[in-house]
Amino acid sequence: MKVAVVGATGLVGAKMLQVLEERQFPVSQLIPVASERSIGKFVRFCGKRYRVTGMQDAIALRPDLALFSAGGSTSKTWAPAFAEVGTIVVDNSSAWRMEPDKKLVVPEVNAHVLTENDRIIANPNCSTIQMVVALKPLHDRYRIRRIVVSTYQAVTGTGVKAVQQLMAERRGKSVEPAYPHPIDLNVLPHIDVFLENGYTKEEMKMVLETQKIMGDSSIRVTSTTVRVPVLGGHSEAVNVEFERDFDLDEVRQLLRQAPGVVLVDDPAHNQYPMPLYARDKDEVFVGRLRRDESQPCTLNLWIVADNLRKGAATNAVQIAEYLAQRGILKAQHRQTELTC
């Protein structure tokens, strides 16, 4: 297939290229796309260099698939233009997530909602993705009433500028900051913009996206999202109240069997999920399972995943893989497949 990666020179775009190569997605022609200032630069894929092109040139090539990670305004402008020429777009921005006619998909949770009529598909927020992957098998068994989640999110979720700020601060240097305060040796209870209700946009994403992905608007969610000086991935402390009581051994078994989940829950031997060890992995790691002793039918758990991979690039590629397996995504013209 002809595959365009829009935002190919960014952190997530580069990770999309890496994941496409690692998972041996059937790419016959790669079309790296970026903003005007990046046109003419080169990216590497399958051992070869590819020149970055602009939007119009990419659309003229009529790719079969376009993976977008270039910001909401770019997606709003250009995703429909790709769709009009027959391209299936998987968009990593927040532009389409809450549109009623657009699917918001985590393959382990709700891939079944996708149809051949879906031309623009939304990739959820990174923090939401890892949480719903872990909670879906528990929701199916016990029915979730309420979720209280506090996140500890890596600077890579902001982008290259934030990584540069963190590393410069550790060297005692000064660079143009990505955040309103220092991030090294600090935590910021502030991700995205503040809204009129006092929550940040990131916090409300977790509320609304969880309900949409799980297909259950009755699930009550409240969130506090925090930026921490970490590179490897996002962590979440999650408190879940169920309709039915649970057995902890059964919970562990459900998580062991859940697609995309790795249970790491042996505190006696200091075994629990950490972003340091989740980095560059596709799975969602879950541990610190324990009853909430303050009220019935309530579970505490700790969830960690690489936000650039499962939280963004891998989830997008998995959506494309699902569409290809179902025959929804297919090459418009016969191609010769690249060999990585």
**Among 126, 139, 190, 333, which one carries the catalytic annotation?**
126
Question: 215 Cβ partners below 8 Å, 6+ apart?
Answer: 110, 113
Q: How far is CA 193 from CA 57, 75, 149, in A?
A: 34, 19, 18
List the strands of the sheet with 298-305, edge to edge. Answer: 220-227, 144-153, 234-242, 298-305, 284-291, 261-263
Count of C-beta atoms within a 10 Å radius of residue 187: 14
Q: Which of 284, 336, 338 is nearest to 306 (CA)?
A: 284
Whether 126 is catalytic = yes
Count of C-beta atoms within a 10 Å radius of residue 73: 10
Are 148 and 337 in contact by the 8 Å Cβ rule? The answer is no
**Among 234, 269, 297, 333, which one carries the catalytic annotation?**
234
SS (H, E, C) 166-195: HHHHHCCCCCCCCCCCCCCCCCECCCCCEC
Whether 234 is catalytic = yes
DSSP 310: I
Helices 248-257, 126-142: crossing angle, 10 deg rounding: 120
What residues are annotated to the active site? Answer: 126, 234
